[in-house]
Amino acid sequence: MVLLHAKGEAEDNQFLYECPAGSAIDDVSTAVVEIHNLQSKILQLARRLRERFFDGSPPESWTAAAISLYRATSEAASYASKDQVLHKRCLSPNILRDHLQTIEKELTVSPLMKISGTTLSQLLSGMHS
C-alpha cells in the first residue's frame, strides 16, 4: 500500500489517500481529484452556512432543525479537515459523498432556508463539484 499526502494551494486543502502500490496513475489521479473536489465543496459549504446562519447567533436560540443542520455540517467539516492528516487518517470519497448528501438533505428540510430566502443552488453556486 502507498500513502499519498495530497496538498492543494490552500493550506486547508490537504488529505491522505491510500492505494495499492500497483494502482494505475489514471486511477489514482481520478480518485485524488474527486476527493479534493468533495473536500473543497464540503469546507466551502460549511463556511458559507456558518457565516449565513450560525455566526453571531447564540446556540440557545437555535431550533431543532438548525441544531441538526449545524451538527451535520460540523461533522462533515471535521471529517474533511486537514486535521485528518495529523491523525494519519485517509479520506474516503464515499464518506465525503455521504456527508455532503446529509448536509443537502438537512438543507432541504431546514426552515432556515425558507426564512432566509436562500436556495441550495445559491449556496452551492460557484463551487466546483
Q: Is 87 helix (H, G, I), strand (E, B) or coil?
A: coil
Residue-by-residue pLDDT tens, the chain, 129 positions: 999 999 988 888 899 999 999 999 999 999 999 999 999 999 999 998 888 888 888 888 888 888 999 999 999 999 999 999 999 999 999 999 999 999 988 888 877 766 666 666 777 665 544
pLDDT of residue 128: 43
Answer whether residue 129 is part of any domain. Answer: no
Q: What sections of 1-129 are H helices per DSSP?
A: 25-49, 64-80, 83-86, 93-109, 111-116, 120-124
Q: Indicate the SS3 state at residue 43.
A: helix
Q: Is residue 69 part of a domain?
A: yes
CA distance linking residue 20 with residue 78, whole number of Å: 26
CA dihedral 58, 81, 98, 57 (to 10 degrees): 10
Number of structural domains, the chain?
A: 1
**49 assigned to some structural domain:** yes
Query: What is the domain extent for residue 55?
Result: 2-124
Asked whether residue 80 is domain-assigned, the answer is: yes
| Domain presence at residue 16 | yes
CA triplet 85, 88, 93: central angle to 5 degrees?
A: 70
